[in-house]
Homo-oligomer: A and B are copies of this chain.
Protein backbone atom coordinates (compact mmCIF):
# COMPACT_ATOMS: atom_id res chain seq x y z
CA UNK A 1 0.00 0.00 0.00
CA UNK A 2 2.43 2.73 1.06
CA UNK A 3 4.66 4.23 -1.60
CA UNK A 4 7.10 7.13 -1.40
CA UNK A 5 8.05 8.85 1.83
CA UNK A 6 6.59 12.16 0.68
CA UNK A 7 7.83 14.23 3.61
CA UNK A 8 8.77 14.41 7.27
CA UNK A 9 6.58 16.91 9.10
CA UNK A 10 8.58 19.05 11.52
CA UNK A 11 6.87 21.40 13.96
CA UNK A 12 8.56 24.73 14.59
CA UNK A 13 7.77 27.92 16.49
CA UNK A 14 9.17 29.88 13.52
CA UNK A 15 9.27 28.80 9.90
CA UNK A 16 11.63 31.67 9.13
CA UNK A 17 14.14 30.53 11.77
CA UNK A 18 13.87 26.92 10.59
CA UNK A 19 14.36 27.85 6.94
CA UNK A 20 17.44 29.84 7.94
CA UNK A 21 18.75 26.77 9.80
CA UNK A 22 18.24 24.43 6.85
CA UNK A 23 19.78 26.97 4.47
CA UNK A 24 22.64 28.48 6.47
CA UNK A 25 23.66 25.54 8.67
CA UNK A 26 22.68 22.48 6.65
CA UNK A 27 23.11 23.98 3.20
CA UNK A 28 19.69 23.08 1.80
CA UNK A 29 19.30 24.89 -1.49
CA UNK A 30 15.53 25.08 -2.02
CA UNK A 31 12.85 26.27 0.40
CA UNK A 32 9.45 27.05 -1.12
CA UNK A 33 7.30 30.02 -0.12
CA UNK A 34 5.39 29.45 3.14
CA UNK A 35 1.60 29.37 2.91
CA UNK A 36 -1.38 29.11 5.26
CA UNK A 37 -3.67 26.13 5.60
CA UNK A 38 -6.35 27.78 7.76
CA UNK A 39 -8.64 24.72 7.77
CA UNK A 40 -5.87 22.78 9.45
CA UNK A 41 -4.61 25.56 11.68
CA UNK A 42 -1.09 25.53 10.29
CA UNK A 43 1.33 27.58 8.24
CA UNK A 44 3.47 25.35 6.04
CA UNK A 45 6.78 25.55 4.20
CA UNK A 46 8.45 22.78 2.21
CA UNK A 47 12.22 22.38 2.07
CA UNK A 48 13.33 20.20 -0.83
CA UNK A 49 15.81 17.37 -0.58
CA UNK A 50 16.88 15.40 -3.66
CA UNK A 51 14.52 12.51 -2.87
CA UNK A 52 11.94 13.88 -0.40
CA UNK A 53 10.91 16.97 1.55
CA UNK A 54 10.84 18.44 5.02
CA UNK A 55 7.46 20.04 5.78
CA UNK A 56 7.90 22.81 8.32
CA UNK A 57 4.67 23.47 10.22
CA UNK A 58 4.01 26.47 12.42
CA UNK A 59 0.86 27.08 14.45
CA UNK A 60 -1.80 29.23 12.78
CA UNK A 61 -4.53 30.58 15.05
CA UNK A 62 -5.37 29.99 18.69
CA UNK A 63 -6.65 26.45 18.28
CA UNK A 64 -3.89 25.11 16.08
CA UNK A 65 -3.25 21.41 16.67
CA UNK A 66 0.47 22.19 16.66
CA UNK A 67 0.25 24.35 19.80
CA UNK A 68 0.05 21.33 22.07
CA UNK A 69 3.09 19.78 20.43
CA UNK A 70 5.11 22.97 20.88
CA UNK A 71 4.00 23.28 24.51
CA UNK A 72 5.71 19.93 25.11
CA UNK A 73 8.58 20.62 22.67
CA UNK A 74 9.23 24.37 22.68
CA UNK A 75 12.05 24.18 20.12
CA UNK A 76 9.94 22.04 17.80
CA UNK A 77 10.70 18.55 16.52
CA UNK A 78 9.56 15.65 14.39
CA UNK A 79 5.77 15.78 14.21
CA UNK A 80 4.64 13.24 11.60
CA UNK A 81 5.72 11.17 8.62
CA UNK A 82 3.79 11.24 5.34
CA UNK A 83 3.59 8.26 2.99
CA UNK A 84 1.99 8.37 -0.44
CA UNK A 85 -0.81 5.99 -1.44
CA UNK A 86 -2.46 5.49 -4.81
CA UNK A 87 -6.06 5.69 -3.54
CA UNK A 88 -6.82 7.37 -0.23
CA UNK A 89 -10.31 5.87 0.16
CA UNK A 90 -9.11 2.35 -0.54
CA UNK A 91 -6.23 2.85 1.91
CA UNK A 92 -8.53 4.22 4.59
CA UNK A 93 -11.04 1.43 4.24
CA UNK A 94 -8.38 -1.27 4.27
CA UNK A 95 -6.79 0.21 7.41
CA UNK A 96 -10.13 0.58 9.17
CA UNK A 97 -10.95 -3.03 8.40
CA UNK A 98 -7.72 -3.97 10.19
CA UNK A 99 -8.65 -1.94 13.25
CA UNK A 100 -6.54 1.18 12.67
CA UNK A 101 -8.07 4.40 14.01
CA UNK A 102 -8.34 7.23 11.49
CA UNK A 103 -8.17 10.68 13.10
CA UNK A 104 -11.11 13.08 12.91
CA UNK A 105 -14.15 12.06 10.92
CA UNK A 106 -12.10 9.85 8.65
CA UNK A 107 -13.18 11.88 5.63
CA UNK A 108 -10.09 12.93 3.67
CA UNK A 109 -9.18 16.59 3.64
CA UNK A 110 -7.11 18.39 1.02
CA UNK A 111 -3.51 18.56 2.18
CA UNK A 112 -0.57 20.83 1.53
CA UNK A 113 0.13 19.22 -1.86
CA UNK A 114 -3.48 19.62 -3.02
CA UNK A 115 -4.41 15.95 -2.79
CA UNK A 116 -6.60 14.13 -0.23
CA UNK A 117 -4.99 13.18 3.07
CA UNK A 118 -5.85 11.31 6.26
CA UNK A 119 -3.99 10.87 9.54
CA UNK A 120 -3.62 7.55 11.38
CA UNK A 121 -3.65 7.44 15.17
CA UNK A 122 -0.18 7.07 16.72
CA UNK A 123 -1.45 4.36 19.08
CA UNK A 124 -1.82 2.04 16.10
CA UNK A 125 1.38 3.21 14.36
CA UNK A 126 4.12 2.50 16.88
CA UNK A 127 3.71 5.88 18.57
CA UNK A 128 4.18 7.79 15.31
CA UNK A 129 1.64 10.15 13.76
CA UNK A 130 1.26 8.93 10.17
CA UNK A 131 -0.18 10.99 7.31
CA UNK A 132 -1.28 9.25 4.14
CA UNK A 133 -1.62 11.39 1.05
CA UNK A 134 -2.84 10.45 -2.38
CA UNK A 135 -0.02 10.65 -4.93
CA UNK A 136 -0.48 13.71 -7.15
CA UNK A 137 -1.78 12.50 -10.50
CA UNK A 138 0.46 14.87 -12.41
CA UNK A 139 3.51 13.26 -10.91
CA UNK A 140 4.45 16.44 -9.05
CA UNK A 141 5.54 16.14 -5.46
Contact = CB atoms under 8 A, between A and B. Distances in A.
Interface of A: 1-5, 8, 10-12, 17-18, 21-22, 24-28, 49-52, 54, 73-78, 81, 83, 95, 98, 100, 122-128, 130
Contact of A24 (B5, B17, B98): B98
A22 B73 CA distance: 27
Given A3-B49, A4-B51, A75 B10 contact: no
Copies, count:
2
A128 B77 CA distance: 5
**Sorted from nearest, which 10 A-B pairs have the closest CB atoms?**
A1-B27, A75-B127, A77-B127, A78-B78, A76-B127, A5-B52, A76-B126, A51-B51, A2-B26, A4-B51
Nearest to A47: B2
A83 B83 CA distance: 18
Contacts of A8: 5, 8, 78, 81
A31 to B, nearest CB: 13
Nearest to A17: B126
Contacts of A77: 122, 126-128
